Structure 1
Amino acid sequence: MSTKFLSRLSQNYIEILEDDEYYDVAIEVVSDGKNSGRILAIIKLPNISPEIFQIILKYIYGGIISLNEQESSETLKILVAADELHLQELVDYFQKYLIENKVEWMERHFELTHKISFQCNSLLKLQKFCTDFMAKFPEKVSKSLDFTSLPEKSLVSLIKSDDLQMKEVKVWDHVLKWGLTQNKTLTSDPDSWTDDDFKIMENTLQDCLPLIRFFSLSSEEFFQKVRPYKRLLKSQLYEELLGSYLDSNIKPSDNILLPRNRNIDEIIDSKIVNLNIVSLISRWIDKIDIKSKFSYTRELYLPYEFELLLRGSKNGFSPENFHTL
């Protein structure tokens, strides 16, 4: 038979915490230049406010956290403090709490949420939440968050996503602008760059360049947006890119990144005909890349809306139904 002592033991620790008569260690969160003379050691935590630290102390002494009393912004501050103090159990708990209960608040205050999540290396779940939200709603995020201000880790996570809902040429534009922001001495005109300038930019973007789906671009996008920066790309990659637009007989290599997944409503209401098929049919209609072996690597081409004329589960599967359309 076992007896649960934790609740009573925790209460005893809380009583010790609230008793200020005997102590020999002071943890300073706001310095007032005073001490009682009895302190043997002082631990300074200048990044944590007294109010937040009091909440942390109640957790340390008694395992008590009252979330209902906290504003969401305060919850983020507690999370940052827990991360600084390496209280991983508390870090995991608060991340889960925010993601399960405060999604709307975090979306409304996305810039703050994103900034805090990527300031702390251990907030991996919150970082994933931010990356997934940016990938799903890039246009919405761009109204409150400048992509050029993203930490490199955040940018890399975002452009690595297969579900990023952004045209690849815009992804490339954002990456270039981000690189220019990191190198204030470079002009926006690559024609004026020296060999050293290209090397600087290549080093800056070394973790981003392999994640760009260059083969998804149209020939016009390649010519206008990529060709001026060809010295940033490996020569073999650039030659294969160039060949994919000029020679329909060239076979793609095995390591080409495929186009990102697109979530587009109202193109077609079908459970069989997916967007890849719609894109292929649209290319046939407009005679675009119909002979190229690289057509499957190109970004989805969706200039038309398609109307579903017959659904077997609704209209039946007989040939007569089809021929009466």
Structure 2
Amino acid sequence: MSAEFFSKLSQNYIELLKDDKYYDITIEVGEDLNVKIFRAHMNILCYRSPYLRRVLASNKKEDNILSHIRLPNISSEIFQIILEYIYGGIISLNEQNTSDILNALLAADELCLQELVDYLQIYLIENKSEWMKENFEFTQRISSQSNNLVELQKFCADFVAKSPERIFKSPHFTSLSEEFLVSLIKRDDIQMKEVEIWEHVLKWGLAQNPSFVADPNVWLDNDFKIMENTLQHCLPFVRLFSLSSKEFSDKVRPYQKLFKRQSYEDLLSSYLDPYYEPGDSISLPRNIEIDGIIDSKIVNLNIVSIISRWIDKVDANCNFSYLRELYLPYKFQLLIRGSRDGFTPRNFHTLCDNKHNTVTFIKLKDSEEILGGYNPIIWMKFDSWDTNGALNYHNEHGPCFGKDLLIYTYEDSADIDFDLTEVFTDEYYEKSIREEGEFLMEDYEIFQIIKNK
């Protein structure tokens, strides 16, 4: 059996830090009038900080000569916090300003105190998130000073994705690092119109070339080459295929010389030729969140937009319609969600029968695949078919689209959970839903669509 007496040990080491008798190294921190000298012990510093070990190893002194190192980037107040952690393994943050904690995080990172770096990041996110949002420019500037501050950088990126105006429209936007800007515009969930992202990328590029005028009509060919080089890492992540035709004409066409010839031809053709085939590398529109359209655990607004286009036959023959700006003429009112309301045929019929214009989404188990269909008339529990065979009604089945897509139970009971989703090929519909097979369902949702006023 072993006993641990860390509390007393920590106390003794803190007393050693405060003792002026046995030190063998001095540390000068701060700059100019704010310089302060600390006395410390080389062995403790070497074993607690890999950074200080390297510094001291490269600055060996003769015997009886006091070692001295300088840390001008760290203030005396912050270094006192760091020393108490190094000696006693303790850190008291309750009395500290959040800005000081962020500076302590930077100091801990500089001194390679990874345990403290990890702790401070989590502490800040869990306890000081509101302050960091209100003082976002300062927080982001701290986070960008080291690639090791992963959690803080993720906090900043997540916040910008949800509230992009806080940084895109701030006076400090053009001073963002290229790396941070690229990390933002790569995200699927940034809540900003694509044309605005494009305009801000151009704004950032102009700020990196202060001699340029804003009007591209007066740029020379060499100016376009310089700007192309400036934006070379940003341009691939702006989703220009998501723009409307007017936005493309007004906002992108004047800058066509920034793009490789084939890239621009592909983009232009997508607006001129509805049958032009999109390439595999084109990104889908971003996952914009708009309250009041749909409450779904299965689909996002991009899928809702695609389904709405199919229902209204908007751009039905355009191969690029799924890449364009969101088309959201309906509100999707949730009637049933299996994981919330149950998976039995009785649940389905009770909540969905006699409801017009419904859309069904089925999430397959252990897959990202989503199946479903649109019913412009009603569901009912009496055994029958609609006149075209497109809908299959049964008291002990779920929503069934002909025989092409079936949800049912093997037991033929209205009170047993659905245990099978089955697909057949070209039975009653012009196009197959997918290849034939039986699939397990993870969840399903049915919505009634209501035209926006």
Calculate the TM-score normalised by the size of structure 2. 0.65
Structure richer in strand, relative to its length: 2
The one-letter amino acid paired with 2:248 is F
Alignment partner of 1:76 is 2:102: yes
- Do residues 211 (structure 1) and 237 (structure 2) align? yes
Determine if contact 2:14/2:87 at 8 Å carries over to the other structure.
yes
Larger mean Cα displacement after TM superposition, 281-290 or 255-264: 281-290
Contact 1:27 1:43 in 2 (8 A): yes
Given the alignment of the two structures, is residue 28 of structure 1 paired with residue 54 of structure 2, yes or no?
Answer: no
User: Which amino acid letter does the alignment assign opposite residue 311 of structure 1?
Assistant: L
Residue 10 of structure 1: how far off its partner (Å)? 2.7
Match in the other structure for 1:316 = 350
Residues 214-225 of structure 1 mapped to structure 2, 5 A cutoff = 214-225=240-251
Are 2:220 and 1:198 aligned? Answer: no
Unaligned runs of 5+ in 1: none
1:95 maps to 2:95: no
> Percent same amino acid among aligned pairs?
63
Change in Cα spacing, 1:285 to 1:2, as seen in structure 2 (3 Å) is: closer
- CA deviations on 1:19-47 (whole Å, 9 max, x unpaired) are 11232311001467998xx8622211112
* Distance (whole Å) between structure 2 residues aligned to residue 184 and residue 282 of structure 1: 45
Number of aligned residue pairs? 321
User: Whole-Å Cα distance in 1 between the matches of residues 68 and 353 of structure 2?
Assistant: 85
Q: Retained in 1: the 8 A contact 2:189–2:288?
A: yes
Structure showing greater radius of gyration is 2
Contact 1:25 1:39 in 2 (8 A): no
SS of the residue corresponding to residue 311 of structure 1 reads strand
Q: 1:164 to 1:145 in 2, by over 3 A?
A: farther
How many Å separate the matches in 1 of 2:104 and 2:247?
Answer: 47
Distance change (3 Å), C-alpha of 1:80 and 1:319: closer
Gaps of 5+ in 2: 38-63, 342-346, 357-377, 380-447, 449-453
Which structure dedicates a bigger proportion of its chain to helix? 1
CA displacement 1:176-217 (0-9 Å, x = unmatched): 000000111111111221222111111111111111111111
Structure 1 equivalent of residue 4 of structure 2? 4
| Residue 269 of structure 1: how far off its partner (Å) | 5.1
What letter corresponds to residue 223 of structure 1 in structure 2?
Answer: S
Cα deviations by residue, 1:76-115 (Å, 9 ceiling, x for unpaired): 1111111121211111110011111111111111111111
Matching of residues 1-325 of structure 1 within 5 Å: 1-30=1-30, 40-142=66-168, 144=170, 146-268=172-294, 275-280=301-306, 283=309, 289-302=315-328, 304-306=329-331, 308=333, 311-312=335-336, 316-317=350-351, 319-320=353-354, 322=356
Shift in Å at residue 11 of structure 1? 2.5
| Equivalent pair of 1:26/1:39 in contact (CA under 8 Å) | no
Structure 1 contact 268–305 (Cα < 8 Å) conserved: no
Q: Does the C-alpha gap of structure 1 residues 192 and 5 become closer, same or farther in structure 2, counting only changes over 3 Å?
A: same
**TM-score scaled by length of structure 1:** 0.89
Select the structure with the greater relative contact order (CA < 8 A; seq sep ≥ 6).
Answer: 1
Instruction: Point out the more displaced range, 17-26 or 86-95.
Output: 17-26
CA distance in 2, matches of 1:204, 1:305: 41
